[in-house]
Amino acid sequence: MNLESAAVLTAPPARTGARTLGVGLLVALIAFAVLVPLLWQGDIARQDYLAILATPNGTYPLGTDHLGRDMLARLSVALRFSLGLAFISVCTAAIPGLLLGILAAWKGGWVDKLLGGVAELFLAVPGLLLVLLIVAVFPGSFVALYSAVALVLWVEYFRMTRALSRTVLASSAVSASQLLGFGPVYIVRRHLWPQLAPVLLTIAAFGAASTIMAIAALGFVSIGVRPPTAELGLMITELLPYYAEAPFVIALPICAIFLTVLALLLITGGRKP
């Protein structure tokens, strides 16, 4: 039995149920984002001036926005954008953070101090402020937005990996493997990864939730992606002046952000990394 299986068997029923609910909710959101463009041929840019701020009907199942654009199509694209960017940013941050953390713990000495100093430099600037600075220099750039988020996230993976790797590498089990002639790949696969995986997956879930919130916040203050791109925060900003006339329409992107972040936090089981 591996460590993940043991963790599932020993986890309290409430925590296991929360994770199951979170996974189910996330799968439903991903299915909505992926399947709607395949099943519903709505144009996110087409404007119907005869159906501005329309309530849900047969033509527009989720109504329309202030320009008469299909909210069902735009919401699916916005969800796909946020989830896709969160996934790419988390993966891009996790890989260097994991590798550099293992390298720092394995080599120690000046390598550890150098990499630790670089991580401290990133921690000296608040994460959201760093994202704002980069995005402000390159406004409307998808690459800048993605790179800024990844730069903020990698530090957590590095610090946690380095701390756990130090403990594992100092264990007698690793010493025995080294005496038997096993190389670094075997030690990482057999000793380090089973200990790192549960913690890194928890950090990844929190990181994805933070990414989605950051993207929405940047869109809300009109610093992230630019119109007519369908993005949840930007949609809220555009619809905010019409909240009294069409509260249901503005509630859609708000609920999408809430449900996505809730799903990711439930997957962590309420456990902080």
Q: Where are the alpha helices (DSSP H) in 108-192?
A: 109-123, 127-137, 142-169, 172-179, 184-187
Full set of structural domains in the chain with CATH:
21-267 (1.10.3720.10)
- Distance in angstroms (rounded) separating the CA atoms of residues 160 and 102: 10
The 8-class DSSP code of residue 11 comes to: S
Q: What pLDDT score does 14 carry?
A: 60
> Quick check: helix, strand or coil at residue 224?
coil
Checking if the pLDDT of 52 tops 60, the result is yes
Residue 229 β-bridge partners? none
How many other C-beta atoms are found inside a 10 Å radius of the C-beta of residue 39? 9
The predicted-structure confidence for 72-118, as pLDDT tens digits, reads as follows 989 999 999 889 888 988 988 999 999 999 999 988 889 889 998 98
pLDDT given for residue 272 in this prediction? 47
Per the confidence metrics, is the pTM higher than 0.85? no
